[in-house]
Amino acid sequence: MRQQLLYDKQQRFHGMQWTSLAPTRGKTDLILSGRRGKMAVHYVLNEGDVPEGGHVIVNIGGREIGVYLIDGQYYALYNYCPHQGAPLCRGIVCGTTMPSRVYQYEFGKSGEIVRCPWHGWEFEIKTGKSLIDDKIRAKSYPIEIQDGKIGIVLK
Ligand code: FES
């Protein structure tokens, strides 16, 4: 009953829906939202919904956001590539070659890079920064954990 009330309240005020990369789950989860100043924290997932090294895409009021778990820390990226608008979070998660001497190739940041599915631009999941130009960024969002719920902070 309490869950249904919270769910109804959330739907009325925020119109959010829960989605994931696993369509078979098809689950509409309890979503709690709160306001803190001009920022809203949208509690859209439970800890444990995102596997280590994996991610889940949620939809908050029509805005798709990928929630990633890397080394026990959560990160949120807007599912929109700043190049031409591809669904960035549908891209593969990989690593990259690190700065090194000529003819030396060092691989690093494994599991910390997302590669856009359309043209292959790569972004750091932790910061949203493009690997080719610091001025290009995928939008990222702060994460807040409370009582086992993962909250995405939106302005
Ligand atoms: S749309 Fe993402 S690299 Fe072109």
The total domain count for the chain is 1
Read off the CATH number of the domain in which 31 is found.
2.102.10.10
* Ligand 1 contact, 16 CB (< 6 A): no
28, 17 contact by CB (below 8 A): yes
pLDDT in tens, 49-80: 999 999 999 999 999 999 999 999 999 999 99
Domain assignment of residue 60, given as a range: 2-154
Q: For tokens 């009325």, what's the residue?
A: 12
Which residue type does 114 have? V
Pocket residue to mutate for ligand 1, from 77, 78, 116, most atoms within 8 A of Cβ: 116
When pLDDT is cut at 50, 70 and 90, the band that residue 20 belongs to is very low
* Ligand 1 contact, 138 CB (< 6 A): no
When pLDDT is cut at 50, 70 and 90, the band that residue 143 belongs to is very high
The DSSP 8-state label assigned to residue 89 in this structure reads G
Number of C-alpha atoms within 13 angstroms, CB side, residue 53?
Answer: 5
Report how far Cα 103 is from the mean position of its chain's Cα atoms.
Answer: 35
* Ligand 1 contact, 83 CB (< 6 A): yes
What mean pLDDT do residues 83-96 have? 97
Tell me the H-state helices in 15-141: none
Residues facing 69 on adjacent strands: 74
Single pTM value for the model: 0.76
